[in-house]
Amino acid sequence: MTVNNARLSSFVIAIQSNLIQRPARRAPLLLWLAALVIAALALLPLGYLVIRATGAGYDKILDILLRPKTHEIFLSSVVLAASVTLAAVFLGVLLAWLTVRTDLPGRKIWAVLTVLPLVIPSYVGAFTLVSAFGPKGIVQGWLEPFGIDRLPSIYGFPGAFLALTLFSYPYVLLSVRAALRGLDPSLEEAARSLGRSQLRVFQEITLPHLRPSIMAGGLLVALYTLSDFGAVSMLRFDSFTRAIYLQYSASFDRSVAAVLALLLVALTLVILIFEKRMRGQARYYRSSSGAIRPARTVALGKWRWPALVFCGVVTLVGLVTPLAVVAFWLVRGTLAGEVFNLRLDVVANSLIGSGAAGLMAMVAAIPIAVLAIRFPGRVSSWLERSTYVGYALPGVVIALSLVFFGANYALFLYQTIFMLIFAYVVRFLPQAVGSTRASLLQVSPRLEEASRNLGRTPLQTLSSVTVPLIRPGLLTGIALVFLTAMKELPATLILGPTGFNTLATRIWDTAAEAFFTQASIPSLLLVMVSAVAVWIILAQEDKKAPR
């Protein structure tokens, strides 16, 4: 009888859980309208590309697509994106597990240090790696007394792979670490009580629950790699972004660049579909009260010191080396008596543009994420996916698309800071959507149901219940957009008003002319300001979302 009662109770709970997951009402019309407007604005660059490409005619489009050079660029971009994503997932998952679940010596310090490579812009990291490890670089100078006259070239695929992996793996690390901290430890404890080893528990319980966070972080890494301009340009790797930029800058006929960009959009859609299918439809809030307590610390035993060396090597190459090279330039220039020229308005421009972009992206992310999670369906899913298109496009494509629409349809916004901020939002909106989505997944819909049952409208519930509960995710999204907008280069160069300089453009202008000493001050300032954004992101990890 007791067994039957237990089964009946489980059955009732399951039915209640399924009923709770269904939205009690349709999404408010205002929410739909807001999401549709945001998705349409995010797809503006795609509209520009279609107009440019179709203007070339079918025969020319086919000719461009059949060129061997196009195939070569496509293959090299896919190989780079896949390689960087796999390496970033390996580093991110392993570092997250070491810094959250194990007795790694100094794990709280490593938890901060292993995230900080995120503050290094890819172009700064690229030319510091060239300066340190390239032929005739700093390391080679140290090795000359030992008869080593030249190190292997770092240009091309090896350098691009190393730079993009080192400065993008924190996207996976942050996502997986947040998932590990929110995972109910009773699941793993139950598996261990059944005799499972620690390795089998990780493979059968922990890893499947981490799959959505791994896919979310991996998606950002893949799209970041496809859209990167600074690192591939510095390291002379032929990717879509570099080819598109060269076509735009060297030719009056921009149809070739538009076709290449559309091919990049098609590749992005394939990645988005793959990520959606791999992510699955699991929920991540608890149906019951659960166990809100830390998981048991795993003893590393004989692997303790190899793990410490691993963390040290990653931090040395991804953080210490770039900062040390920049500091070397600064000290050398100071001793040589160079005069540093950096105006305060450059710093102010960076802060204002990036801060405004972060706030606007957060506001835009809320209706997209709420529709996708609370009112799932084909339309809401594609509205969410549409915001990711801009993240995979090079900044130069987004900038030129906005130049086209601004000059033809919104002349009052042309050559203003508002157009630049809008470009930042289109470019980095997925970061705000992703963090907001992750927080919303961990909030039980029961809380919103209770609010509506008390007479509040859906929009009142959204503003008074949902938004406060997902505040950590919103702050993380603001910080991520701020961080990446500070580093954005092509869009700032093209859309910035006349005389509008930022830390990113100042670094690029001086480094491109090999004035590395002049680039050191804005590089260090950019890293310091970006570190504040990373601190905000890390601070949100301690604020658990209600289940």
Say whether pLDDT at 359 is over 90: yes
The tokens of 37 are what? 């407007």
- Residues 335-351 have pLDDT tens digits of 877 766 767 888 888 89
Q: At what angle do helices 44-54 and 29-42 cross, to 10 degrees?
A: 40
Of 420, 438, 442, 418, nearest in space to 430 by CA: 438
pTM of the model: 0.78
Say whether pLDDT at 291 is over 70: no
Rounded Cα gap, residues 43 and 50, in angstroms: 11
Asked whether the CA dihedral 283, 287, 289, 291 is positive or negative, the reply is negative
Say whether pLDDT at 537 is over 80: no
Please, which pLDDT band fits residue 463 given cuts at 50, 70 and 90?
confident
Rounded Cα gap, residues 308 and 103, in angstroms: 10
Rounded Cα gap, residues 185 and 472, in angstroms: 22
- Residues 474-485 have pLDDT tens digits of 888 888 899 889
- Residues 37-72 have pLDDT tens digits of 999 988 888 888 888 788 777 788 888 888 888 888
Of the listed ranges 27-31, 403-407, 419-423, 507-511, the least confidently predicted one is 507-511
Which of 76-90, 450-464, 498-512, 513-527 is modeled with the greatest confidence?
76-90
pLDDT value, residue 95: 93
Q: What is the mean pLDDT of residues 183-205?
A: 67
User: Could you tell me the end-to-end alpha-carbon distance of the chain, in angstroms, rounded to an integer?
Assistant: 32
- Residues 261-273 have pLDDT tens digits of 888 888 888 887 7
CA distances from 528 to 263, 323, 472, 523 (A): 37, 11, 22, 9
pLDDT value, residue 545: 42
Please, which pLDDT band fits residue 194 given cuts at 50, 70 and 90?
low
Of the listed ranges 153-157, 288-292, 359-363, the least confidently predicted one is 288-292
pLDDT value, residue 145: 74
Rounded Cα gap, residues 437 and 470, in angstroms: 9
Please, which pLDDT band fits residue 197 given cuts at 50, 70 and 90?
low
Say whether pLDDT at 13 is over 60: no
pLDDT value, residue 425: 93
- Residues 81-94 have pLDDT tens digits of 999 999 999 999 99
- Is 125 in contact with 161 (CB distance < 8 Å)? no
Say whether pLDDT at 361 is over 90: yes
Q: What is the dihedral of CA 184, 276, 163, 352, to 10 degrees?
A: -90
pLDDT value, residue 166: 92
pLDDT value, residue 125: 85
